[in-house]
Amino acid sequence: MAKKDIWAFKVILIGPAACGKTSILSRFVHNKFTESYEYTMGVDYLSKEVEFSNNLARLTIYDIGGQERFRFLRNTFYKGANGALLIFDLSRAQSYEEMKDWIYELKQLTHENIPFVLVGNKLDLVEDVGRFIDKVDIKKFAKAEGSIYIETSAKTGENIEGAFIELCLRMAKLKETIDEIPEDLEVLPNNAIEAQGLLIKEVYNRFGKEALPIISKVLRQQGRAIGLKVKNKLADHSLTSVAETFISNWDPTMIEAVEISDNTFHIKGFGCPFGLENTSRELCEAVMEIDHEYFRTAVSDKIELAIEKSVAAGDSCCDTIYRLKEKE
C-alpha cells in the first residue's frame, strides 16, 4: 500500500452573516446540526483530519463571523490561510450579492491565487423558497474567479465533506506547484533574472499581499544600485541616454516598440523580464519599482520624472511612459 502524504492546512470559513458557516463546521467535524441560530462572536475554530486522493489533510478550520462589527478581528485570522470556503445562503438573494464583497476581501487580505470553493448553503430550503439565482450563472461566476461552485445542506449533510475535499485538492495542487521550484536552481548570468522571478513568485504565493512591501523595497534598492552604475558611466544624464542604455540591456523581442524624445520615453508592449505575466496587478506594480527607481536615479536627482504606467491583471505585457516634469 502506498504511503499517504500528510498535509497541514489552515482553512477559513467566510461569508455573510447567517449563511450557515458554523452549521457547516459542526456538521463536518461532529456530524451534528442545530436548528437554532447564534451568531459567531468574532472567530471560532475546530480541527479535523480528512482523506483525499489517497492523502491525509490535517485541517485547522476557522469559522469567521460575518457580522460587520467583527471586521477588525477578521483581518488577523486571514493570515497564513491556505484556502477558504466562501459560503452564502441559497435562500436569500442578498446573501449572494454580499458574497462578492467577501471574494474581494479574501484576495486583498491573502493573495490573488488563494484556493477557495464557492458554497451555496441551505440547499434543503430551495424547494420551499425557490431559486433566487440561476445555478448556471453561479457556476460561470465561480469559474471566472478561479473556483468551483458546490451546493450544500448543513441540515442534511449533503455535499459538506465533498466541499472540504475539493478545497483540499486545490490547496495541495497549489502547494505542489510551489514545491516544484528547484532548490538547486543554477543562477548563471543568463538566468539570474528568471531565478529572481521564481523567488518572487514563491514569496508572493506563500505570503500574498503582506509580501508586497518587502518585494517593492528590495527591487527599489536593486533599481537604485543599477541606476547609480549607469549614472556614473554616462557623461550625459539625459533621459534619452539613460533610455537607450536601458533598452540595450534587454532582449529586443521582449519589447514591442519604443518612442524616445528629449522629454519622453515610451515603452510599448514590454514583456515582464521576471516571467510574471498574467499574475495580479498588485504584484506587477510592485515588480515595476525596479525600473522606476532605475530611471529616478540614473537620469539625475535634479530632474524629476513623471511616471505613467498601464498594467492590468491578466496582461502579458504593459506600457510605461517616463516623462520629464515641466519646470514651473
Residue 185 lies inside a defined structural domain of this protein: no
User: Among 179, 204, 229, where does a domain finish?
Assistant: 179
Same domain, 171 and 206: no
Residue 278 lies inside a defined structural domain of this protein: yes
pLDDT per position as a tens digit, 297-328: 888 755 667 776 665 545 666 777 888 876 55
Same domain, 164 and 211: no
Query: Among 23-32, 53-62, 64-73, 181-190, where is mean pLDDT lowest?
Result: 181-190
The helix (run of H) or strand (run of E) holding residue 167 is helix 160-179
- Within 145-253, where are the H helices? 160-179, 192-207, 212-233, 239-248
Query: Among 148-152, 223-227, 269-273, 281-285, where is mean pLDDT lowest?
Result: 269-273
User: Among 150, 179, 208, where does a domain finish?
Assistant: 179
188-205 as b/e: b if 16+ CB within 10 A: eeeeeeebbbbbbbebbb
216: how many CB neighbours lie within 10 A of its CB?
19
pLDDT > 50? residue 166: yes
pLDDT per position as a tens digit, 195-229: 777 788 778 877 777 788 888 888 888 888 888 88
C-alpha cell at 1: 500500500
pLDDT per position as a tens digit, 179-198: 655 555 444 434 567 777 77
Residue 186 lies inside a defined structural domain of this protein: no
Query: What is the pLDDT, as a whole number, of residue 91?
Result: 94
Query: What is the pLDDT, as a whole number, of residue 283?
Result: 80
Same domain, 51 and 101: yes
DSSP β-bridge partners for residue 52? 55
Query: What is the pLDDT, as a whole number, of residue 67?
Result: 72
Same domain, 116 and 250: no
Report which of residues 129 and 163 the model is more confident about. 163
Query: What is the pLDDT, as a whole number, of residue 178?
Result: 61
Query: What is the pLDDT, as a whole number, of residue 8?
Result: 93
* CB-based contact 319:270 (threshold 8 Å): yes
pLDDT > 50? residue 265: yes
Please indicate, yes or no, whether the overall pTM of this predicted structure exceeds 0.75. Answer: no
C-alpha cell at 192: 539570474
Beta-strand ranges (E) seen in 90-237 are 116-121, 149-151
Question: How many domains does the chain divide into?
Answer: 2
- Which residue segment(s) compose the domain that 232 sits in? 192-324
Q: CA-to-CA distance for 196 and 194, rounded, in angstroms?
A: 5
What is the dihedral sign for C-alpha 86, 88, 90, 93? negative
State the residue for C-alpha cell 518587502: 214
65, 70, 106: which is closest to 209 by C-alpha?
106
157, 153, 99, 94: which is closest to 126 by C-alpha?
153
Confidence bin at 251 (pLDDT 50/70/90)? low
Angle between helices 212-233 and 289-299 in degrees, nearest 10: 30
Query: What is the pLDDT, as a whole number, of residue 189?
Result: 37
Same domain, 21 and 169: yes
